[in-house]
Chain A
Amino acid sequence: MKDTDHLKEVFGKLDQIHEPIDLEETILTAIEKERTLKAQIAKYRSYGKKSLIVSGILVAILGILFSRPSTRQSMEHTILAYTSIGLVLVVILVQLEAGGSKIFNQLKNNRS
């Protein structure tokens, strides 16, 4: 008990034994970075949800278009087929844009 008190007395003379550090800016920057990252993830998540909904709608439209009787005139059938291909391309483009795909961004950058 005597020793405890003595060490307490010795240590009591010391406020801080290590050199002061200053990590305020580093920590706040790291927090800000993490916040931005989380916001970005949330943004991509919402894009993902939107593109899923759009994809669903487009797939449904394609389904309806292709399920129509094929006894129609060949011209009408061709228009149908090309419209479907166009819609498929739109779906792919929407998904690439929403996903922030590297290839897509590269193509956009090369154009500008």
Chain B
Amino acid sequence: MDTHYINEVLKGNTHAFGYLIRTYQNKTFGIAISIVKNDEDAKDVVQESFITAYASLSSFRNDAKFSTWLYRIVVNKALQFLKRQKRKEEVSQEIAITENDKTAYNSALEQLNHQDLKLLVKKVLSEIPPREALILQLFYLENQQISEIQTITDFTKANIKVLLHRGRKSFYKKLKKDNITKPY
């Protein structure tokens, strides 16, 4: 489906790009916000990314997935934004997480209703370091494989695994630090 619209755009039909925007704007927003941590900045990143994607669509090779190619642009733009802001990545505090803690939080998470779970995950992801949040977002929410995450982020496989491990740890640490078993 994407290919059809991409070809239409390449033929000069700008409005065909609207389909690609509608399809991917929320997913790209999720990725952008996991890095920049702010709604308005994430929207700017998404907008900038789509404009770049439109301008360089002719360089997109159909052997790759459009989403992977687009996500890569978004990640680059968001990381560039962070660099411009010179925002330092937070280092997660040293809080010990035991297996018992994890089990307790897992069962607490299971009991939450959909809306509360959504709010809780959103809150936690907004407070953990950008790269860890990005990997959690891509792996868990966008269901990307490690190899795809590697293409999107340009991180090494080992690096991704480390960030995923740290991300999970930070996720539980955040729950423990804020003593969250219920979000609000």
Contacts and interface: CB of A to CB of B under 8 A. Distances in A.
Interface of A: 3-4, 6-8, 10-14, 16-18, 20-24, 26-28, 30-32, 34-35
Interface of B: 14-15, 17-18, 21-22, 25-26, 29-30, 33, 43, 46-47, 50-51, 54-55, 102, 106, 109-110, 114, 117-118, 121-122, 125, 136, 140-141, 164, 168, 171
Tell me what chain B mostly uses at the interface: helix, strand, loop, or mixed. helix
B47 A26 contact: yes
Contacts of A21: 25-26, 29, 43, 46
Contact of B117 (A8, A13, A26, A34): A13
Contact of B114 (A7, A13, A18, A22): A13
A23 B25 contact: yes
A16 B47 contact: no
B121 A14 contact: yes
Contact of A23 (B21, B33, B55, B114): B21
A46 B110 CA distance: 65
B32 to A, nearest CB: 10
A18 B30 contact: yes
Given A18-B29, A20-B26, A21-B25, A32 B50 contact: no
B47 A11 contact: no
